[in-house]
Amino acid sequence: MNLLIRCLALVAGLLLPASQAQAAWTPIDFPRSDVTLRAVVVARPGGFQVSGSKGTHATTLDGGRTWRLTRIAGTEALDFRGLAVLDARTALLMSAGDAPAGQARLYRTADGGASWSQVYSTEIPGGFLDTLRFWDRSHGLVLGDPIDGAWFLLRTSDGGRTWTRVKATLPPLQPGEAAFAASNSALILSGRAGAWIATGGGSHGRIFRSTDRGRTWQAADTPIDGGPTGGVFGGLALGREGGVIVGGDHKDELRAAPSLAVTADGGRTWTVAPRSGTPRLLESVGRLNARTLIAVGPRGTAFSTDDGRSWSQADQEAFHAISCAAGTCVAVGAKGRVGVWR
C-alpha cells in the first residue's frame, strides 16, 4: 500500500463509522519494548490494563498517554498471560508456565494495584495455566492444560479470593490435545453459566462446551485444522447461541487452511466463515459494536461487518490479544506493542 492510499485509508477511518471503515490501528507508546503482551482488558473508554512477560502488568486511565507499571516482588520472571478486571479496584493476574518450576500462580489486588496478594499456586506435575475468565464479579474459571487425561480447571465464587479444582465430567481427549496460552482467550464464557474451551494439538481443533459453569462438558469438532502446533486459539460468544472462533498454526502462520469458524447453535456445530485475503493465524477476536468484529494475530487483522458471517483482511499489523468495550478496541502484542481502534 503506497503512502497516498495509506493516508486515504486513515482519513476514511476518521470520517466513517467504525463498521464501514477499514482497520486503522493507532499505536500507543508503552514504557517497555522488551516484553510480549498477551492479555488486555478494556474496562471503560480510555481505561485499560495489559499484562505479559517479565512480570509485566500496567494500567492506563487516559488512553495510553500515561501508564502505571505494577511491581510485584518475586514475579520478574513470570509470564502474566491471564488478566481479569472485576471493578475499578479489583483485578487478577494469571501466570502461565511450568507448574513444578513455580510458574503457575494467581495474584489479586483489591486496592487498584497498590498491593497484590498471591491467591493460588500449584506445582502439580504437568501443570500449565492457559486462561483466566469471569462470568461476573464473583464467579470465575481458570483453564489449564490437561493432566492425567482431563482438563485442569479452577473455580472461584468469591471474586478470586479462593480457588478450588473443578471435578468435571469430560469427554476423552485427542492425543496431544491441549490449549494455547496465546491471548487469554482459549476459555470463552457466555451468559450466566456457559463456557467453551478452544483446543489444539490434536488432529483437528475442537470446542468443549459447558452450560453449568464447567461441571459437565461435551466436545464438538471444528473445521480448523490441528496438528502439534495448530488448532483453535480463542474465540468470542455472540449472544445466546452464536459464536466465532479463530486459530491456525503458530509455526506456519500463513498456513493455507481455515482460521475462522462460526456457530449458530451454541457451539454444537461449526462452519467455515467466508474470508477474503490470504489465510493466516488469528489468536483473538473482539466485538467493536453490534455488527463489527475484529480478529487479530501475528500476521494481521481481519474484520467482519455482518456479525461474523463474512470476513475481510484489513492489514498486516501484528497483535496477540484484543479487548473491546464502549466502542473502543485495544490490541497488544510483542515488543510492548499496543494499538487502539475506536
- Residues 264, 268, 271, 272: is their CA dihedral positive or negative? positive
Using alpha carbons, list the distances in angstroms from residue 257 to 96, 249, 254, 307: 28, 9, 8, 22
Task: Please report which confidence band the pLDDT of residue 3 belongs to, taking 50, 70 and 90 as the band edges.
Answer: very low
- Assess whether pLDDT exceeds 50 at residue 325: yes
- Assess whether pLDDT exceeds 70 at residue 4: no
Task: Please report which confidence band the pLDDT of residue 20 belongs to, taking 50, 70 and 90 as the band edges.
Answer: very low
Give the per-residue pLDDT at 261.
98
Task: Please report which confidence band the pLDDT of residue 22 belongs to, taking 50, 70 and 90 as the band edges.
Answer: low
Phi-psi domain of 238 (left: phi exceeds 0; alpha: psi -120 through 50; beta: other): beta
What are the pLDDT digits (tens) for 178-197?
999 999 999 999 999 999 99
Give the per-residue pLDDT at 240.
86
The mean of the pLDDT values for the chain is 92
Give the per-residue pLDDT at 6.
34
Task: In whole angstroms, give the CA distance from residue 172 to residue 150.
Answer: 8
What are the pLDDT digits (tens) for 238-258?
988 999 999 999 999 999 999
| Of 79, 75, 76, the residue nearest 37 (C-alpha) | 79
- Assess whether pLDDT exceeds 90 at residue 38: yes
Place of cell 506445582: 123
Give the per-residue pLDDT at 10.
34
What are the pLDDT digits (tens) for 252-295?
999 999 999 999 999 999 999 999 988 999 999 999 999 999 99
CATH of 23-341 given 2.40.30.10, 2.130.10.10, 1.10.645.10, 3.40.50.720: 2.130.10.10
What are the pLDDT digits (tens) for 84-129?
999 999 999 999 999 999 999 999 999 999 999 999 999 999 999 9
Least confident of 15-19, 61-65, 217-221, 315-319: 15-19
Domain locations in the chain as residue ranges: 23-341
- Residues 276, 277, 281, 282: is their CA dihedral positive or negative? negative
Task: Write phi, then psi, for 199 (nearest 5 degrees).
Answer: -125, 160
C-alpha grid cell, residue 300: 494481521
Q: Is the pTM of this model over 0.85?
A: yes
Task: In whole angstroms, give the CA distance from residue 10 to residue 16.
Answer: 10
Q: Which residue has the higher pLDDT, 229 or 4?
A: 229
What are the pLDDT digits (tens) for 49-69?
999 999 999 999 999 999 999
C-alpha grid cell, residue 269: 456445530
DSSP string covering 95-162, please? Answer: E-S-GGGT-EEEEEESSTTS--EEEEEE--TT--EEEEEESSSS-EEEEEEEETTEEEEEEESSTTS-
| Of 154, 40, 56, 176, the residue nearest 99 (C-alpha) | 154
- Assess whether pLDDT exceeds 60 at residue 8: no
Using alpha carbons, list the distances in angstroms from residue 31 to 28, 40, 255, 342: 10, 16, 34, 22
C-alpha grid cell, residue 243: 459464536
Phi-psi domain of 79 (left: phi exceeds 0; alpha: psi -120 through 50; beta: other): beta
Q: Percent of the chain scored above 70 by pLDDT?
A: 93
Q: What single-letter DSSP state applies at residue 266?
A: T
Task: In whole angstroms, give the CA distance from residue 138 to residue 317.
Answer: 36
